Structure 1
């Protein structure tokens, strides 16, 4: 473990930025210092992502991280990427070509399942960051969780949970924020009772967020709108229905794809700092996304021990790309060549229904909790790729003085043309049980069967490797078994074993014939041990987890034929995760988390210039072996609160050969908050306090740079 990282954890510690989004029973001039501060370490609240049994994090035999609404606001998270980067071991970025890219427990991209209210789109590019305002909470479970959510999730699952109408009579909240690079946010949320008196009663909620910014890179303007609307209807004392609709629109002009590396390219990536904010995309480059969600949720409490929920859902997403995406310096670093023009559209729809039954009873005289259900979905995606890729550059420009040009001027292109249609039908059955073997010992088990059927229609040229139509079927069975032992009412230890099934090529929603014709699903298995406990009479809480994950049978180059692939790959990840919080005094709170992972390929070959090269022992790209976060907040006056935060990410490799890496970095932030009254707060915040130049992601010969130092001021109110 590097000394630098250890020092960061020991010196900065673990802390939380307290926030006053909770309803406050306070006078306009006094704040009750005994009110528990918002914390990302939640052990005794029910969670949705680690189990379908409504268990708390303490009862779940797995590493679970939670960021509820109070924590999201305390951290100052602007979008979902900001939220998950506060969670233990997560390193996320948003390169336009990689969507919501996540590295966690040694795995990346499609090996981490991202869910929206428990529903996945099975396509990594659909997981673009969304403004955080419309989300009530975000939850993360570490390791294989296919038995809960279907194929994928060998590294873990992230679940974004939207705000829904509640039975509060009326709540109104709003935010106005403005910061560097003309970044702004205007948001409002309203929850209102539509009826009064005896049943039936109806409640509605509307949340709208509008954000805009000119971007820290040249010519990189972005605007987004996120809307969530829901109606909760109590049809009887036992029966309720929720209708939920969401709309998200994201438009980005001339998206930034990365900065070219300086020559000669050595072990560590370097960029020209004097051209730090240069954007080499064309002037009319564009990324756009439009998303619509519809959910119809029925909750029925049959009796005190039995309940059911049925969720009918529809997702419609359209993503458009029009960009010049790759850039390289000449030998003298005086000119930049631009490559890789892409015009693409993804048109995706997911329709499905999930039925769940919960039942508590006695089994062999022991208390038992059951959950079982059925899941059916049809995932359709139409792909319109129109690439103008060439080994020769489109042009070579002087970076000091250049006209970015227009995408329309790039020769050899055509308009959008449908090339493939993918349709993946999933039928699944799942069951989960918690059995209290003794007052202290509980056994948890879960099992899921999936029937995956993929059909692909090719509208382009028909070749032996791209037929007009092909189909495949897979039937994975995955599960988890775990034991939780309570040492005391506030301290336990656990052990678990879980498995995963991983689709070929990472996603069946875009897989080609050559990626799936002869391939079964890759498999993953995990062994994890850990503990969750309180200390110092409840003023502190902590979790610790150690794990090993082995992923097998993913595609690698055939060692006897560099032009073909076989299922022979294997990767092992060993790691440890720590999280803690401590209320040092009524005014001072510290919180933090730390993760270490040793991820390496046990069996992995790739084709390089027509030769087969072994990457055995190498680390996967963009996987840091250390990630740490820390927060400190102090209320030196009932109206005033100040705080600092720190984030450390170790170096990552940009290639499978492990010959090129992006350096480690540490980011610092600070804030000051003034409570105008019990309902309104003014917050000043600075991010990247030292103006660190760092790569959020490294790929090929591009350095995807993170944001520089920025300032912002925001006003939040609730009444």
Structure 2
């Protein structure tokens, strides 16, 4: 808390004070401004299929483009997501990509890749090199991506081939804990100018290795993206996009146990904070292959269509000893939960979109509509045994997985979940006047779940289990551009989420949001800002039945309300300030939890776990001279609860960083960066054990970047 007033004062005043200043129009040239900052006139990405800009969209939209990623030193797309307002993302091994946003977590935040929604577990942080941008839409957004998205949506967009004749870039990095990275990208025209058919290819490759700050934890990861853009006619183009990702981690870090007593603010033994209680041969591996075929066709000046056919194949393997807790005297650590599992996932589908500009009764209007079909199949092959052992945290032999009793037993497939989705969607923007526009949208999903049990058939675990849902979701919003450089908007949106349980007949969980906000430029275009206030309600999800602890009932309800601010300001020609701040009040309105004793306890009024009340970011970048640039940054995350009873808390933290960049010549730069300057000890995530998933200590990094 000690740093919060400083952070809030520095970047909170930027957008708020702007209302007291004279607002002036900004001249926009091209689709995206070259000036760093919010870039309100860049395309809004997945927030709308109507081709609107961020400014024109009546919703909270934040985008970190390629320049933002490099300027802020984001190493992975998770780091990039954390630069966006209100996002708190982490990567605990058992959770894949975990995101907290607007008071919601896990499946209530949809994570997409190139506009395609995938399983949360596939959202493990990947090197940011192959990504062009990360997009964020706040609140219910099922209209855009289907079931889910009560709290919001993140979209990670890969670099694709462009119509540049030749462009290349490369990067070498080395830093603390023997962290090394190599990356390069090249875009090249394959045909001579003037040819009837033009082809352009792009290839991006990155490799990263490191010995973690946690004992014995080592990681190696490869990412590759290749795309071929073909202009078949002046109006018809096709893009073939292929991606391959491979991650291998030995003896993964699974968390640091907290000391007894486990009440109030949880604490760890800082002397042993780098201990790894996993077995010596613990492992995490993931291999993912993407293939996309994208057709863009301009039928005429008013009508375009786009079709994306895709296939995804992924395999993840875990082999770890995962749970660690101190004994009552805090003199030894009890280890348990030996878990080995293979997740095999496959998804294929097709998205078709048609967009048309027209006039109705003299009013300009844009229509977008389409269909989507996808099949997602996942199969788990798990083995779970107790694996109990006790070790001295000051000196211990981690042992090996297959030395644990019963880990050599044969194990087979558990279940295969196949979800088939067919969807129809339509969206419209109607210009009611030159300054007032109405945005509406509607989506219908037909979702079929088919579960196949590969193990023994019982009354509660049949061979096949089928369920179907048909949710309808939508959005309506008004935008009023009261002066050329500023607008206000109001929006109402809904969402639907299929039940997490597959053994009972439940309907979809529903969500709705009211949001008001504004997007504006100030100080003759030197600054830009966004502000939004919202309330979200989610209901009808499964909770424990207080009358029958062995049963669940679909009566759960939770809500959140909050405010988000973001701004960038060119204070002087050499000094740039950027920042965002989010406050949220999240609580359960109706939630019953089954505790260890078997009793059912109400958690009404409590805050969900791992939801910080405040999150803020600040960056200051200064050009000392023509060839020298430096900067400082700060990130604040408020305390979170580690349990639904709200009796255990994980403390707030503030991280500071700095960088210094030297421009060797017009092509090459050298950057030195320090992260976590004060060597703060903090938890990125709180496990239910409970345990800390610790963030990185102070680290140093040197990077050489070149463009040619």
Cross-structure match for 1:601: 588
Cross-structure match for 2:206: 209
1:708 to 682, 697, 702: 697
Contact kept in structure 2, 1:292 and 1:316, CA below 8 Å? yes
Work out whether 1:5 is the aligned partner of 2:1: no
Q: CA deviation at 1:266?
A: 2.4
Contact kept in structure 1, 2:110 and 2:117, CA below 8 Å? yes
Cross-structure match for 2:459: 464
Cross-structure match for 1:396: 390
Structure 2 stretches of 5 or more lacking a match? 15-31
2:301 to 296, 299, 304: 304
Q: CA deviation at 1:47?
A: 2.1
Name the TM-score, length of structure 1 as normaliser.
0.94
Contact kept in structure 2, 1:14 and 1:629, CA below 8 Å? no
Contact kept in structure 2, 1:5 and 1:626, CA below 8 Å? no
1:569 to 541, 556, 562: 556
Contact kept in structure 2, 1:358 and 1:372, CA below 8 Å? yes
1:480 to 457, 475, 484: 475
Q: CA deviation at 1:612?
A: 1.3
Contact kept in structure 2, 1:345 and 1:416, CA below 8 Å? no
2:329 to 317, 328, 332: 332
Work out whether 1:448 is the aligned partner of 2:443: yes
Contact kept in structure 2, 1:14 and 1:580, CA below 8 Å? no
Q: CA deviation at 1:5?
A: 2.5
Q: CA deviation at 1:364?
A: 2.4
Give, in whole Å, the separation in 2 of the partners of 1:72 and 1:38.
14
Q: Deviations over 1:95-148 (max 9, x none)?
A: 000100000000001110000000011x21111111100001110000000011
Q: Deviations over 1:155-201 (max 9, x none)?
A: 00000010001000000100000000011110000000000132201
Q: CA deviation at 1:39?
A: 3.2
Give, in whole Å, the separation in 2 of the partners of 1:306 and 1:14.
43
Cross-structure match for 2:24: none
Q: Evaluate the alpha carbon distance shift between residue 654 and residue 423 of structure 1 in structure 2; reply closer, same or farther with a 3 A threshold.
A: same
Cross-structure match for 1:32: none
Contact kept in structure 2, 1:250 and 1:289, CA below 8 Å? yes
Give, in whole Å, the separation in 2 of the partners of 1:37 and 1:309.
28
Q: CA deviation at 1:416?
A: 4.5
Q: CA deviation at 1:42?
A: 2.1
2:215 to 218, 224, 234: 218
Contact kept in structure 2, 1:290 and 1:317, CA below 8 Å? yes
Cross-structure match for 1:235: 232
1:690 to 673, 678, 685: 678
Q: Evaluate the alpha carbon distance shift between residue 37 and residue 353 of structure 1 in structure 2; reply closer, same or farther with a 3 A threshold.
A: closer
Cross-structure match for 2:25: none
Give, in whole Å, the separation in 2 of the partners of 1:626 and 1:679.
40
1:406 to 400, 410, 414: 400
Bigger mean CA deviation after superposition, 555-564 or 543-552:
555-564
Bigger mean CA deviation after superposition, 123-132 or 393-402:
393-402
RMSD between superposed Cα atoms in Å: 1.3
Give the secondary structure class of the aligned counterpart of 1:102. strand
Cross-structure match for 2:171: 175
Cross-structure match for 2:28: none
Give, in whole Å, the separation in 2 of the partners of 1:483 and 1:324.
53
Give, in whole Å, the separation in 2 of the partners of 1:338 and 1:285.
14
Contact kept in structure 2, 1:328 and 1:336, CA below 8 Å? yes
Give, in whole Å, the separation in 2 of the partners of 1:182 and 1:38.
35
Give, in whole Å, the separation in 1 of the partners of 2:535 and 2:476.
15
Cross-structure match for 2:651: 663
Q: Evaluate the alpha carbon distance shift between residue 675 and residue 14 of structure 1 in structure 2; reply closer, same or farther with a 3 A threshold.
A: farther
Contact kept in structure 1, 2:11 and 2:578, CA below 8 Å? no
1:139 to 108, 114, 135: 135
Q: For 1:279-678, list aligned pairs within 5 A.
A: 279-388=276-385, 390=386, 394-413=388-407, 414-505=409-500, 513-514=502-503, 517-608=504-595, 609-678=597-666
Q: CA deviation at 1:498?
A: 0.1
Bigger mean CA deviation after superposition, 97-106 or 699-708:
699-708
Q: CA deviation at 1:644?
A: 0.1
Give, in whole Å, the separation in 2 of the partners of 1:493 and 1:569.
34
Contact kept in structure 2, 1:81 and 1:93, CA below 8 Å? yes
Cross-structure match for 2:75: 78
Give, in whole Å, the separation in 1 of the partners of 2:341 and 2:123.
17
Aligned residue pair count: 687
Q: Deviations over 1:577-617 (max 9, x none)?
A: 00011100100000100000000001000112121100000
Q: Deviations over 1:14-40 (max 9, x none)?
A: 99xxxxxxxxxxxxxxxxxxx976535
Give, in whole Å, the separation in 2 of the partners of 1:39 and 1:448.
35
Structure 1 stretches of 5 or more lacking a match? 16-34, 506-510
Q: CA deviation at 1:3?
A: 7.9
Q: Evaluate the alpha carbon distance shift between residue 616 and residue 628 of structure 1 in structure 2; reply closer, same or farther with a 3 A threshold.
A: same
Give, in whole Å, the separation in 1 of the partners of 2:171 and 2:490.
43
Contact kept in structure 2, 1:568 and 1:603, CA below 8 Å? yes
Give the secondary structure class of the aligned counterpart of 1:504. coil
Give the secondary structure class of the aligned counterpart of 1:384. strand
Bigger mean CA deviation after superposition, 69-78 or 556-565:
556-565
Q: Deviations over 1:250-284 (max 9, x none)?
A: 01111111100111222011000000100000000
Q: Evaluate the alpha carbon distance shift between residue 296 and residue 636 of structure 1 in structure 2; reply closer, same or farther with a 3 A threshold.
A: same
Name the TM-score, length of structure 2 as normaliser.
0.96
